[in-house]
Amino acid sequence: MAAYPAAMFFMWNFLIKKLWIFFCIPDKLKLSMPIYRKNGTEIICVNRYHFIKRKEVHMLKIKSYVRVNSIAEAYELNQKKSACVLGGMVWLKMGNRNVSTAIDLSGLGLDGIQETEDEYVIGCMTTLRDLEMNKSLNEWTHGAVRESLRHIVGVQFRNCATVGGSVFGRYGFSDVLTMLLSLDTWVDLYQVGRITLSEFVNQKKDRDILQAVIIRKTPLKSVYLSQRNTETDFPVLTCAASLIGETARTVIGARPGRAMIVEDKADILYGFEEMTRKEKEKAVQEFASYAAEHVPVGGNMRGSKEYRRLLVEVLTRRAWEAVGGMKE
């Protein structure tokens, strides 16, 4: 019974407002006038007799902006659920979100790629374009890193999007995540420290701060492939194949779920480097079929489940043919 007076109040409020618009406001002024809002939906008065529903325009709203002086300060501010660490903001600004504190890391010198004898240390604020144009990294990966990035929207977009945002977001469509998972990649978190990227990807999102992505210079042969409906669209499926030392690793992304490593439990590709050409051809075909059977895929607006399953087999076969030197 307690809910009855409240319901009557809202009903009468709605009717009074509608009658006021009907009798007191000229038709010309009624156009697009909202008379009711709830959960982002407006009821719009078109004229005296017609009312329509429409969705409100959503936008990013930031209450407070802080350009931090240390990672420790960023970590402390980020413990609130409504806080947000800013990267390139290419995805963030497209959503509807209220941010209490926007945390800017751009003053901490985390926007470069440092190369040592053993590894590449990529700061979280490094742009995808910087990664794409790094000569040493691309030579070491045989052009696979550049290939994984060159289709992402456009150069202007890649000049804004950051490595940290791409990795921490764990997006299902991410070319970056697929490529990095196929390498000997680690992430450096402020609170946890260094952990492997494969471990990080499968963790629940938390309030830690990603400081850097580290790629170890393990002996490597790598290839990256993707299938897209148009040149700069999101991928329908991505595939990266690498020989890390003697270990064969295959990663499938845009399933449309996040990228995953295909576990070769049957050891089909074991000793791949020492195989003869005929043995490699047989192993590649067998492993491609194995991957198609064991990689979970789904359907969406870019491709059906059946189409993606076919692509898993085709791209896996092509990638390993390229790694094995059977295909240019």
Q: Helix, strand, or coil here: 148?
A: helix
Question: Which residues are CB-neighbours of 46 under 8 A, at least 6 positions away?
Answer: 30, 31, 32, 52
Q: How far apart are CA 308 and CA 6, in angstroms?
A: 51
Q: How far apart are CA 164 and CA 180, in angstroms?
A: 12
Mean pLDDT over 117-129 rounds to 97
Q: What is the pLDDT of residue 43?
A: 53
Q: How far apart are CA 115 and CA 156, in angstroms?
A: 25
Say yes or no to pLDDT of 31 above 80: no
Q: Helix, strand, or coil here: 36?
A: strand
Per-residue pLDDT band at 249 (split at 50, 70, 90): very high
Q: What is the pLDDT of residue 6?
A: 60
Q: Which CATH number is 219-328's, of 3.40.250.10, 3.30.390.50, 3.30.420.10, 3.30.70.1230?
A: 3.30.390.50
Are 57 and 37 in contact, with CB atoms under 8 Å apart? no
Q: What is the pLDDT of residue 67?
A: 96
Q: How many CA atoms lie within 13 A of 219 on its CB side?
A: 5
The full set of domain ranges for the chain reads 3-55, 60-104, 219-328
Question: Which residues are CB-neighbours of 153 under 8 A, at least 6 positions away?
Answer: 232
- pLDDT digits 0-9 by tens, 82-114: 999 998 888 887 778 889 999 999 999 999 999
Mean pLDDT over 254-273 rounds to 95
Cβ neighbour number for residue 258 with a 10 Å cutoff: 18
Are 277 and 285 in contact, with CB atoms under 8 Å apart? no
Per-residue pLDDT band at 13 (split at 50, 70, 90): low
Q: What is the pLDDT of residue 111?
A: 94
**Which residue from 60, 61, 64 is spatially nearest to 103, judged by alpha carbons?**
64
Say yes or no to pLDDT of 63 above 70: yes
Cβ neighbour number for residue 275 with a 10 Å cutoff: 16
**CA dihedral sign, ordered 263, 269, 270, 271:** negative
Mean pLDDT over 229-249 rounds to 94
Question: Between 36 and 251, where is the model more confident?
Answer: 251
Residue-averaged pLDDT of the chain:
87
Report H helices in 53-97. 71-77
Looking up tokens 């941010």 gives 99
Q: What is the pLDDT of residue 247?
A: 92
Residue type, 219: P
Are 195 and 186 in contact, with CB atoms under 8 Å apart? yes
Per-residue pLDDT band at 252 (split at 50, 70, 90): very high
Q: Per the structure block, which two tokens stand in for 171? A: 């997006």
**Which residue pairs from 87-95 have beta carbons closer than 8 angstroms and sit at least 24 positions apart in sequence?**
87/124, 87/125, 87/161, 87/162, 87/164, 87/165, 87/168, 88/127, 88/160, 88/161, 88/162, 88/165, 89/160, 90/157, 90/160, 90/161, 90/165, 91/165, 91/169, 91/171, 92/60, 93/60, 95/58, 95/60
- pLDDT digits 0-9 by tens, 176-215: 999 999 999 999 999 999 999 999 999 998 999 999 999 9
Say yes or no to pLDDT of 286 above 50: yes
Q: What is the DSSP letter of 15?
A: H
pTM of the model: 0.81
Mean pLDDT over 51-73 rounds to 78
Q: Per the structure block, which two tokens stand in for 240? A: 């990266």
Cβ neighbour number for residue 112 with a 10 Å cutoff: 13
Cβ neighbour number for residue 261 with a 10 Å cutoff: 16
- pLDDT digits 0-9 by tens, 128-183: 999 999 999 999 999 999 999 999 999 999 999 999 999 999 999 999 999 999 99
